[in-house]
């Protein structure tokens, strides 16, 4: 009977394939989780410098690659729920599969959360330590068969060990009054290296994203499109989680939510009346919304035939029209002033002429008045 596929669900301690039953050689696996990355390690009774390795992430099968080492690191493990490695020995088609389960618990500041995992064994002598690794690696409490020690105390206002009996391999404890400092990787064991071994839990603490900011070219010619961008960053912890977060967005126009706009960009058609609108946005991480951005206002631009190719916004265009109207009015006033001056000159001429007629030819003046009925 030939076995061609061997699957082991791993929690960081070595697992192996017995060569006597399945092949000529044995493969032992172990794993560690450090700052968001998972490293698979293996040993084999075959002394080889090259292995064929395939990494599957959730339901996505991996491609085969040659690895000239006995370890392989998968970056940004929090993007997945399960990561499997398949290692084949040289000149062998036997699959040696080891799966790392990426356990994640999300919570928020101020809440209480329970964390749990199954230990491979509980030490018959000594103690089982529970570690927290983030900015530093520290022991948060130790469990013996007869009780729990919280840094030398039998009680803690921060942690409560929930498992009974104490020597059970089912590890469960509560963390109260969650802060961002509580985020990170939790794991247990009887030696310091267990703090990074696989099989623990990543605690993710969500916080309000940074205040949103709207950016984009706000001076756009009418009858064209503009794209506004809402910028914000996750402030959740740990940082190797926050860098992977995809925020959701909410857009507002004049304090009213815009339906069906949930991405970081907003595309708008620029019409003349868009200048009366004020746009803003917020970002959301795990149900926590950021402070709303300052509002922005779009200035529609026009290509004026009065000024050539220079583009102007509506205010500039209105000012230009007023200036031109004023110039036209001044010309009309000047024209009227000139015409008035001409009329005055004519009046003066006729006044003089009339005076001459009155003085030198009174009979002519009398006849003129008679003809006009005077």
pLDDT at 374: 62
**Contact at 8 Å (CB) between 41 and 70?**
yes
- Dihedral angle sign, alpha carbons of residues 165, 99, 25, 73: negative
- Please say if the pLDDT value at position 68 is more than 70: yes
Q: Which whole number is the average pLDDT over 157-165?
A: 96
**Contact at 8 Å (CB) between 71 and 41?**
yes
The CB density around residue 272, as the number of other CB atoms within 10 Å, is 11
CA distance 78 to 104: 8
pLDDT at 208: 96
Architecture of domain 213-303: Sandwich (2.60)
Query: Within a 13 Å sphere around the CA of 9, how many CA atoms are in the beta-carbon half?
Result: 7
pLDDT in tens, 230-251: 999 999 999 999 999 999 999 9
Q: Domain 5-101 class?
A: mainly beta
Task: Give the burial class of 353: count Cβ atoms within 10 A of its Cβ; 0-12 exposed, 13-18 middle, 19 or more buried.
Answer: exposed
Which residue would you say has higher pLDDT here, 165 or 370?
Answer: 165
Looking at 173-256, list the stretches that DSSP marks H as alpha helix, in order from N- to C-terminal side: 239-242
pLDDT at 8: 35
The CB density around residue 370, as the number of other CB atoms within 10 Å, is 9
Token couple for 275: 């200048």
pLDDT at 159: 97
Token couple for 146: 């007869």
Task: Give the burial class of 168: count Cβ atoms within 10 A of its Cβ; 0-12 exposed, 13-18 middle, 19 or more buried.
Answer: middle
Bridge partners of 104, per DSSP, are: 202
**Contact at 8 Å (CB) between 66 and 51?**
yes
* pLDDT category of residue 351 using cuts at 50, 70 and 90: confident
Q: Which whole number is the average pLDDT over 287-299?
A: 96
At residue 268's C-alpha, the angle toward residues 263 and 271, to 5°, is 165
pLDDT in tens, 264-286: 999 999 998 898 999 999 999 99
CA distance 163 to 185: 20
pLDDT at 7: 35
pLDDT at 18: 35
CA distance 73 to 67: 11
Q: Using N-to-C axis directions, what is the helix angle for 314-360 and 362-371, rounded to 10°? A: 120
The CB density around residue 227, as the number of other CB atoms within 10 Å, is 12
pLDDT at 92: 87
Q: Which fold has domain 104-206?
A: Immunoglobulin-like (2.60.40)
pLDDT at 321: 67
- Please say if the pLDDT value at position 306 is more than 70: no
């Amino acid at each position: 009977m030939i076995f061609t596929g061997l699957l082991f669900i791993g929690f960081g301690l070595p697992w192996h394939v017995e060569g006597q039953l399945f092949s000529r050689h044995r493969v032992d696996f172990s794993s560690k989780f450090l700052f968001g990355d998972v490293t698979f390690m293996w040993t084999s009774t075959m002394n080889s410098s090259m292995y064929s390795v395939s990494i599957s992430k959730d339901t996505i099968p991996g491609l085969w690659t040659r690895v000239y080492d006995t370890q392989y690191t998968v970056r940004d493990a929090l993007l997945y729920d399960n990561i499997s490695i398949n290692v084949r020995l040289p000149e062998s088609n036997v699959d040696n599969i080891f799966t790392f389960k990426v356990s994640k618990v999300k919570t928020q500041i101020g809440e209480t959360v329970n964390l749990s995992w199954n230990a491979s064994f509980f030490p018959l002598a000594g103690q089982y330590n529970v570690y927290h690794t983030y900015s530093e690696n520290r022991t948060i409490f130790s469990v013996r068969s007869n009780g729990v020690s919280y840094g030398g105390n039998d009680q803690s206002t921060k942690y409560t060990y929930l498992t009974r009996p104490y020597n059970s391999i089912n590890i469960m404890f509560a963390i109260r009054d969650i802060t961002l400092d509580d985020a990170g990787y939790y794991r247990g064991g009887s030696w310091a290296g267990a703090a990074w071994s696989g099989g623990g839990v990543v605690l993710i603490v969500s916080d309000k994203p940074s205040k949103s900011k709207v950016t984009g070219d706000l001076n756009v010619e009418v009858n064209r499109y503009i794209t506004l961008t809402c910028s914000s960053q996750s402030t959740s912890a740990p940082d190797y989680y926050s860098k992977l977060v995809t925020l959701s967005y909410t857009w507002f126009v004049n304090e009213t939510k815009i339906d069906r706009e949930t991405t970081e960009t907003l595309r708008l058609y620029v019409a003349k009346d868009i200048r009366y609108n004020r746009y803003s946005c917020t970002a959301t991480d795990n149900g926590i919304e950021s402070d709303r951005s300052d509002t922005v206002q779009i200035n529609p631009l026009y290509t004026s035939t009065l000024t050539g190719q220079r583009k102007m916004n509506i205010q500039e265009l209105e000012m230009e029209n007023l200036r031109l109207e004023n110039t036209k009015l001044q010309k009309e006033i000047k024209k009227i002033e000139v015409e008035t001056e001409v009329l005055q000159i004519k009046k003066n001429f006729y006044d003089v002429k009339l005076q001459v007629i009155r003085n030198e030819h009174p009979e002519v003046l009398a006849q003129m008045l008679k003809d006009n009925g005077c």
